[in-house]
């Protein structure tokens, strides 16, 4: 790729991010939420209109009417801006920074108007009607958490304000929520796509069926749960072959195929076969016709429509309750007809469409069975959708609004039956301003959504769903880890499952999902991250598609099966609407509409010529990515347009339509379109080739995610090393936000001297990551020196550490909230020992009158950090008692030099006071701390040597760190060597270098520049040994590299104990550092000691210093005895023995096991020698 062309392409990518890089990274989250707030909520509420309510007491059986009926419509939904209601009555605008500090939920009030129509019927046959109309305005239905920087966020409405005024970080992207002061983000949830027919071979796991075609059908025009319809081929041969069955929701057993066709109104066998094969005279399909023979025989007892319907009715899941037999039969029939109308292919609008779609499904299944088409792939990205925040919240909102309506109906029926209106017979007073909030419970939606975001469980309460871990606390370790977290996708499968295919990197995910950024261990391949240019679509209206497509398509209802045969089918969102006689022209007509922006630019238009199908799709949740359009093997991104982009005449958005350019240059494609395209990697690949390319990649680096894009030269590293760096980049210390001084995070790490890397990538600059780097440039020598850098340990220069290399501050916040449990007001103060009981063995002297330490006070171990007392109720009015308070202070345990950084006392959302105390610790690197380069080369400090003991060059240059040469050959991280060599050149030239992936920086060029600047051409140096002063025999590779300090520090992990707390149940030492626990002596350690024959040591570990215990056992029956050693009383309750016993020394947990076995009726007996 020529340099000029490369610059033009990167200018284009820069224009995508320019001045809105943060919005572009999280726009999939924000657009999804805005769509939810702007249209989905209103659609959901309208779905429930009108709500009809009547009491069974008012039913008059003779007239089959209700004497009193209430009809409610919800209208004028509105959402306010977030406000703080102080307990002194004042209200003010809520800003996110205050919500974080004061533990508020950043949410807004939702209101709507209730239009009530009350119909009162009276007279002999209830023929006279009296109607009352009433409207209750601004009914509060709960609070909705607000996504930061969405359309209803305060920050968007006040975007002219300076960040200092709003208290926000200037680089904060938004796209998350604040729930009780904690930042929460929703991960995109992968799921199978709806309205697509999948065919599978299920012989392996199934004895009954051999092949299956399934579809999850859901209409785009109304919000209902997907209905799964399956068509199966039986394993069993009925003498004429394998018959076909259909499984429908709410029908117990699978229905024979021909019976279902007859129930849909197609009676004759020949007509049914025509609906499946379309042309039964065609020789090619004789095999398919023969395969239907078994199904014809299977249904020959139910020839008529009535017989077929009767058969399905007998299988319907309907239980008549409180009705006579005749009514029960009638209701069951109505139920079955409604199932066939609403649950069988609800995405098809007419009955005729349903009949043809069933035929299409059977046809596809038989073609799969005969091997005429491949079995579908569940793991292909074209068959997947990603549910974003908006979709997830809409599902929750729908369920909780449904609950609110059901509760409202019950409450209104109660009001009708025994409300106060009966005394005056004032019908308008059934629902009034006094009882409206008894009827409409505003907490239903509010608590439901808040609970889901707080716990991460998006399942409905009391139902066993696997929607756990959807919302997570936003990772604030490093700035880049926060960005990465907002672009994460999760597959909701069991992480401990042994299934391998869903975890594999599928070819169809190229360009949409980062191939490197995934966790190690059990979450590998289950948690994924989006590539940096990819986007996930939001729901758009289908009416426009129908309006544009229908005039050019022959509708399915108007044609006979023979006329449909061998024609190109047209599908919109899975619904087969008709055929086209000019497929090629029609396909290009649709593409042209997309390129001009007349239909949504994210619409997917696919011509699958093998299946003779044109598939148009604008569903939500499809991953899309931009590529260059190609005509005659030349991209439309010409040199002239490239220059206009570089001069800022053209923006990214101008490339998507033909307003400012002759023809749109960039097209967004989804995995299905990508599957039917031929995409060149770059322009040169299209030259001198006979292949006819349809698209060209903007740049190969666009396949990577945000974290992988920050690695210089990742294409020169072995694949797992890139994955390791993606994990370590999230753990590096840096500046996680620019306003960390004003935040009170649980734990926060800030590195003092973060440096911009010499070799960075273009993407880092586009995303402004060079402003908040997370590491430092150090001089690295790769050599063995003194044996203290074996096995990934690192030798550090102590003088560099003393000058501040990698030093950091760790902030930790202690929080203390008042709880209403105590009834009395809790008081924060310095407790008075003469009036307070339960005071701790700690130092209270540093507290001030507010119960906190003054800022910048030194904290020592066992200091009280927050002083608090609670009045004792009983002693309040009793003059004789001097002890009036109980101590509730918070003690701090530390083994470091720790200071109070900031105190914050205020009132929270419930009106109770709370105190937050932020402490700070200065951490200097020490032996055992973990570091890593940007190439997955992690290591811990093995020793720190003074500069005079380190090797040095003849000019006196001393390396900051020395790593072992064995780290390079087997790991093949050539990217690090290239970064170091280029860095050496850049230091001399005073420039920053470009390490963007696939940008082909030539190593020979770097070598020439090194030689030009009087270095060895490969960056080697002649070093003197700092210990002996001798010149080293070998040249050492040495140069600058970017290293990261990771959060794993010895100070946080060091732990030892002699005696300490025990677990009550097992009487063994407690577990874990925080509980001052013991060290685990596990199975492997035990086996190791046994193999050494160190039996006394083994006994000492697992008995003497753990749960030493002794019991008496009966010598006659071997069971444990009851004993009192001090009074010499021993007795066996099993056999009555009182004299013959033996002392058993066993661990206490062993005694527990024996007792557990006894409860299961198993008698473990101790037998003496």
* Token duo for residue 695: 């698209």
Other Cβ atoms closer than 10 A to 545: 23
| Helix boundaries (H) for 677-797 | 683-686, 719-728, 762-766
Burial group, residue 203, by CB count within 10 angstroms (0-12, 13-18, 19+):
exposed
Are 177 and 146 in contact, with CB atoms under 8 Å apart? yes
Distance, CA of 246 to CA of 248 (rounded, Å): 6
Other Cβ atoms closer than 10 A to 254: 19
Distance, CA of 496 to CA of 522 (rounded, Å): 6
Q: Where do the DSSP E strands lie in 362-430?
A: 384-387
Distance, CA of 1097 to CA of 824 (rounded, Å): 55
Q: Is 195 left (phi over 0), alpha (psi -120 to 50) or beta?
A: left
Q: Which of 566, 552, 193, 570 is nearest to 353 (CA)?
A: 570
Say which of 343, 407, 608, 792 is annotated catalytic: 792
| Helix boundaries (H) for 513-572 | 543-549, 561-564
Q: How many angstroms separate the Cα of 191 from the Cα of each of 249, 615, 1031?
A: 20, 20, 63
Q: Which of 79, 13, 8, 68 is nearest to 40 (CA)?
A: 79
**Cα angle for residues 843, 846, 852 (degrees, 5° grid):** 110
| DSSP code at position 37 | I
* Token duo for residue 906: 């205020």
Query: Can you give the length of the chain in residues?
Result: 1169
The gap from C-alpha 582 to its chain's centroid, in whole angstroms, comes to 44
Distance, CA of 490 to CA of 515 (rounded, Å): 15
Residues 6+ apart with CB under 8 A from 1058: none
Distance, CA of 408 to CA of 437 (rounded, Å): 10
The interaxial angle of helices 269-277 and 351-369, nearest 10 deg, is 70
Are 729 and 481 in contact, with CB atoms under 8 Å apart? yes
SS3 content of the chain, % helix, strand, coil (to 5): 30, 25, 45
Q: Which of 669, 378, 624 is nearest to 503 (CA)?
A: 378
Distance, CA of 117 to CA of 83 (rounded, Å): 33
Phi, psi of 414 (to 5 degrees): -60, -45
The gap from C-alpha 546 to its chain's centroid, in whole angstroms, comes to 34
Burial group, residue 902, by CB count within 10 angstroms (0-12, 13-18, 19+):
middle
Q: Which of 573, 561, 666 is nearest to 614 (CA)?
A: 573
Rg (CA), the chain: 37
Question: Strand pairing of 913-923 and 930-933?
Answer: unpaired
Dihedral of CA atoms 1149, 1154, 1160, 1165 in degrees, nearest 10, equals 170
Q: Which of 495, 528, 523, 527 is nearest to 512 (CA)?
A: 528
**Residue 792 annotated among the catalytic residues of the structure:** yes
Other Cβ atoms closer than 10 A to 738: 16
Are 474 and 147 in contact, with CB atoms under 8 Å apart? no
Are 857 and 900 in contact, with CB atoms under 8 Å apart? yes
The gap from C-alpha 543 to its chain's centroid, in whole angstroms, comes to 31
Residues 6+ apart with CB under 8 A from 560: none
* Catalytic residue ranges: 792
């Amino acid at each position: 790729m020529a340099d000029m062309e490369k610059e033009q392409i990167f200018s284009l990518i820069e224009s995508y991010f320019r001045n809105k890089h943060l919005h572009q990274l999280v726009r999939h989250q924000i657009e999804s939420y805005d769509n939810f707030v702007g249209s989905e909520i209103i659609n959901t509420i309208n779905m429930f209109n009108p709500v009809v309510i009547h009491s069974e007491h008012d039913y008059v059986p003779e007239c089959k009417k209700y004497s009193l009926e209430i009809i409610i419509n919800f209208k004028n939904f509105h959402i306010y801006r977030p406000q703080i209601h102080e307990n002194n009555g004042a209200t003010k605008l809520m800003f996110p920074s205050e919500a974080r500090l004061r533990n508020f939920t950043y949410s807004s009030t939702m209101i709507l108007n209730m239009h009530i129509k009350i119909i009162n019927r009276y007279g002999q046959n209830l023929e006279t009607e009296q109607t009352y109309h009433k409207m209750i305005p601004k009914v509060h239905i709960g609070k909705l958490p607000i996504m930061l920087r969405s359309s209803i966020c305060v920050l968007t409405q006040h975007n002219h304000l300076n960040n200092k005024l709003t208290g926000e970080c200037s680089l904060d992207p938004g796209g998350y929520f604040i729930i009780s002061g904690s930042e929460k983000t929703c991960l995109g949830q992968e799921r199978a796509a709806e309205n697509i027919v999948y065919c599978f071979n299920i012989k392996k796991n199934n004895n009954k069926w051999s092949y299956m075609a399934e579809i999850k059908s859901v209409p785009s025009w109304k919000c209902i749960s997907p209905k799964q319809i399956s068509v199966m081929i039986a394993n069993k041969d009925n003498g004429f072959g394998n018959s076909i069955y259909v499984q429908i929701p709410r029908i117990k057993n699978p229905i024979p195929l021909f019976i279902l066709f007859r129930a849909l109104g197609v009676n004759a066998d020949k007509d049914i076969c025509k609906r499946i094969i379309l042309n039964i005279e065609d020789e090619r399909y004789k095999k398919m016709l023969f395969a239907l023979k078994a199904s014809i025989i299977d249904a020959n007892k139910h020839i008529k429509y009535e017989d077929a319907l009767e058969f399905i009715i007998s299988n319907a899941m309907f239980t008549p309750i409180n009705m006579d037999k005749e009514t029960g039969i009638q209701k069951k029939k109505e139920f079955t007809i409604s199932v066939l109308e609403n649950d069988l292919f609800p995405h098809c609008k007419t009955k005729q469409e349903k009949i043809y779609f069933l035929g299409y499904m059977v046809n596809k299944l038989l073609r799969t069975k005969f091997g005429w088409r491949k079995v579908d792939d569940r793991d292909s990205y074209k068959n997947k959708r990603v549910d974003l925040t908006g979709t997830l919240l809409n599902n929750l909102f729908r369920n909780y609004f449904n609950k609110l309506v059901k509760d409202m109906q019950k409450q209104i029926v109660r009001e009708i039956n025994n409300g106060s209106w009966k005394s005056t017979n004032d019908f308008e007073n059934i629902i009034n301003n006094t009882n409206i909030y008894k009827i409409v419970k505003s907490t239903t939606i509010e608590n439901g959504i808040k609970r889901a975001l707080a716990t991460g469980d998006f399942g409905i309460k009391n139902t066993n769903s696997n929607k756990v871990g959807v919302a997570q606390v936003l990772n604030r370790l490093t700035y880049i880890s926060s960005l990465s977290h907002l672009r994460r996708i999760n597959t909701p499968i069991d992480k401990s499952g042994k299934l391998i295919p869903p975890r594999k990197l599928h070819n169809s995910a190229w360009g949409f999902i980062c191939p490197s950024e995934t966790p190690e261990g059990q979450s590998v391949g289950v948690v994924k991250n989006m590539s940096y240019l990819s986007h996930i679509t939001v729901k758009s209206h289908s009416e426009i598609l129908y309006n544009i497509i229908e005039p050019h398509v022959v509708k399915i209802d108007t044609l006979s099966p023979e006329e449909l045969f061998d024609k190109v089918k047209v599908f919109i969102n899975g619904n087969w609407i008709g055929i086209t006689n000019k497929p090629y022209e029609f396909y290009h007509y649709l593409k042209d509409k997309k390129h001009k922006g007349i239909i949504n630019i994210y619409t997917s238009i696919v011509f699958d010529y093998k299946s003779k199908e044109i598939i148009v799709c604008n569903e939500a949740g499809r991953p899309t990515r931009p590529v260059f359009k190609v005509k005659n093997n030349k991209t439309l991104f010409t040199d002239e347009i490239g220059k206009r982009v570089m001069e800022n005449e053209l923006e990214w958005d101008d490339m998507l339509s033909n307003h400012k350019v002759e023809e749109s240059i960039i097209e967004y494609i989804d995995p299905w379109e990508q599957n039917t395209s031929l995409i060149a990697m770059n322009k040169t690949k299209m030259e001198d080739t006979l292949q006819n390319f349809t698209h060209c990649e903007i740049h190969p680096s666009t396949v990577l995610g945000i974290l992988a894009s920050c690695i210089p030269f990742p294409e020169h590293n072995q694949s797992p090393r890139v994955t390791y760096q993606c994990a370590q980049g999230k753990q590096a210390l840096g500046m996680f936000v620019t306003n960390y001084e004003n935040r009170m995070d649980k734990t926060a790490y800030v590195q003092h001297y973060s440096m911009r890397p010499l070799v960075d990538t273009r993407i880092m600059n586009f995303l402004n990551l060079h402003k908040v780097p997370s590491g430092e440039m150090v001089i690295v020598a790769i050599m063995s020196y003194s044996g203290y850098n074996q096995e990934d340990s690192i030798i550090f220069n102590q003088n560099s550490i003393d000058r501040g290399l990698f030093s950091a501050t760790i902030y930790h916040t202690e929080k203390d909230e008042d709880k209403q449990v105590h009834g009395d007001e809790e008081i924060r103060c310095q407790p008075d020992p003469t009036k307070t009981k339960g005071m701790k063995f700690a130092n209270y002297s540093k507290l001030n009158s507010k119960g906190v330490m003054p800022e910048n006070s030194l904290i020592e171990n066992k200091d009280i950090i927050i002083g608090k007392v609670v009045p004792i109720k009983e002693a309040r009015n009793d003059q004789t008692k001097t002890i009036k308070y109980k101590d509730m202070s918070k003690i701090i345990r530390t083994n470091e030099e720790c200071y109070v950084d900031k105190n914050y006392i205020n009132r929270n959302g419930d009106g109770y006071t709370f105190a937050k105390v932020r402490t700070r610790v200065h951490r200097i690197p020490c032996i055992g701390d973990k570091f890593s380069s940007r190439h997955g080369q992690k290591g811990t400090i093995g020793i720190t040597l003074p500069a005079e003991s380190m090797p040095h060059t003849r000019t006196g240059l001393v390396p900051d760190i020395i790593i072992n040469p064995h780290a390079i050959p087997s790991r093949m991280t050539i990217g690090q060597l290239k970064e170091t060599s280029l860095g050496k050149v850049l230091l001399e030239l005073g420039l920053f270098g470009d390490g963007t992936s696939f940008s082909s920086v030539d190593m020979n060029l770097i070598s020439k520049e090194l030689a030009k600047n009087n270095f060895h051409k490969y960056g080697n140096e002649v070093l003197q040994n700092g210990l002996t002063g001798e010149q080293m025999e070998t040249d050492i590779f040495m140069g600058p590299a970017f290293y990261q300090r990771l959060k794993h520090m010895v100070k946080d992990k060091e732990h030892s104990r002699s005696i300490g707390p025990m677990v009550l149940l097992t009487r063994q030492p407690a577990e874990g550092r925080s509980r001052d626990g013991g060290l685990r002596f596990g199975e492997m350690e035990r086996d190791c000691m046994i193999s050494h024959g160190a039996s006394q040591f083994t006994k000492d570990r697992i008995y003497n210093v753990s749960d030493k215990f002794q019991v008496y056992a009966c010598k006659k029956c071997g069971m444990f005895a009851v004993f009192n050693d001090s009074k010499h009383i021993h007795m066996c309750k099993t056999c009555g023995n009182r004299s013959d016993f033996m002392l058993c020394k066993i661990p206490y947990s062993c005694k527990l096991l024996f007792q557990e076995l006894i409860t299961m009726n198993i008698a473990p007996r101790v037998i003496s020698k």
